[in-house]
Amino acid sequence: MGSNINVFHQNARTAVVPRRAMGPTSTALTRGYAVCYDEDKTVTAGNEIQRRNFVEEPAIGNVGAFAGVLAYDYPSDEGRKTVEFYEPGAECEIYVDGAYAAGDLVSFKVDSVGSSTGQFGAYNGVPGRGSARLLQATTEAGYALAVLLDGPESGGTHYCQVASGAALSTTVIGLTQIKGDVTIGSAATYTLPSPSDPGVFKAFHLLSGLTTENFDITFTSAVGQSGLSLVALASAELDAADDFVSVRAVGPVDGVRWKLEENNGPTLA
């Protein structure tokens, strides 16, 4: 399929040209699922641009490099070298994880609890790369026509669970959606590192409450607002159902740092 030829694909409403890149051969890939560029790909020194020629399933380490949505099913095949995917801006079918209304925004997922990595689900609050606007309603998990949004990296939604006394491994941008509904004897923790670029967004949402102990977030280089003044923001404690906190990177005055954007429930310090 030549890249200079407009084609009408059965999964798209308008004429689009899927992009082609190298993809994993030992993993079966599903049409309508998200893929990200392999930012950790080992390449020859001086040829770092090659990383943008390799795509893979979404993972904690690559959510800031959304590539697009797979145009076809690809079975595990060591002889296969390339895959095709629709890029941001395209109208195509995506696989959603449940019921949604036409016009809803959804974001791609990294699922550390179940098996829905690559599907689209809970909107993470960033209308950019990795999010999509549905053009039709769904009543259950399955395919829906959507527009892939462009703009800043959304970072997707990481669905995960905390464990007693353990440091959570999660994404540094986008939404961390914590399952909760668990008893932990000592606090679960996460330290959010300093942001690298102004404008990036990070949010934490506890879906169901925790019993006995909290989920404690430590912010690196963060501020909140008190009246007209900025004040240091060191931490947030989440323990109740629907606790939510979000920050956005601001700068470069005084360096790039996180600034509190919304807090609904968590105790801040």
The mean per-residue pLDDT over the stretch 28-41 comes to 89
Q: What is the pLDDT of residue 49?
A: 61
Domain boundary assignment for the chain: 19-148, 161-268
Q: How far is CA 189 from the centre of its chain?
A: 20
The mean per-residue pLDDT over the stretch 214-225 comes to 94
Cα angle 44, 45, 46 (rounded to 5 degrees) comes to 110
Q: What is the pLDDT of residue 45?
A: 60
Residues 21 and 177: their CA atoms lie apart, in Å, by 30
The answer to whether residue 7 scores a pLDDT higher than 90 is: no
Residues 39 and 118: their CA atoms lie apart, in Å, by 17
Categorize the per-residue pLDDT at 46 as very low, low, confident or very high, splitting at 50, 70 and 90: low
The answer to whether residue 238 scores a pLDDT higher than 90 is: yes
The answer to whether residue 10 scores a pLDDT higher than 50 is: no
Q: What is the pLDDT of residue 8?
A: 37
> With respect to CATH, is domain 161-268 assigned 2.60.120?
yes
The mean per-residue pLDDT over the stretch 14-38 comes to 87
C-beta separation of 71 from 86 below 8 A: yes
Categorize the per-residue pLDDT at 59 as very low, low, confident or very high, splitting at 50, 70 and 90: very high
Categorize the per-residue pLDDT at 4 as very low, low, confident or very high, splitting at 50, 70 and 90: very low
N residues, the chain: 269
Categorize the per-residue pLDDT at 15 as very low, low, confident or very high, splitting at 50, 70 and 90: low
pLDDT tens track for 154-163: 999 999 999 9
Of residues 120 and 49, more confidence is placed in: 120
Give percent above pLDDT 90 in the chain.
77
Over the chain, what is the mean pLDDT? 90
Q: What is the pLDDT of residue 22?
A: 87
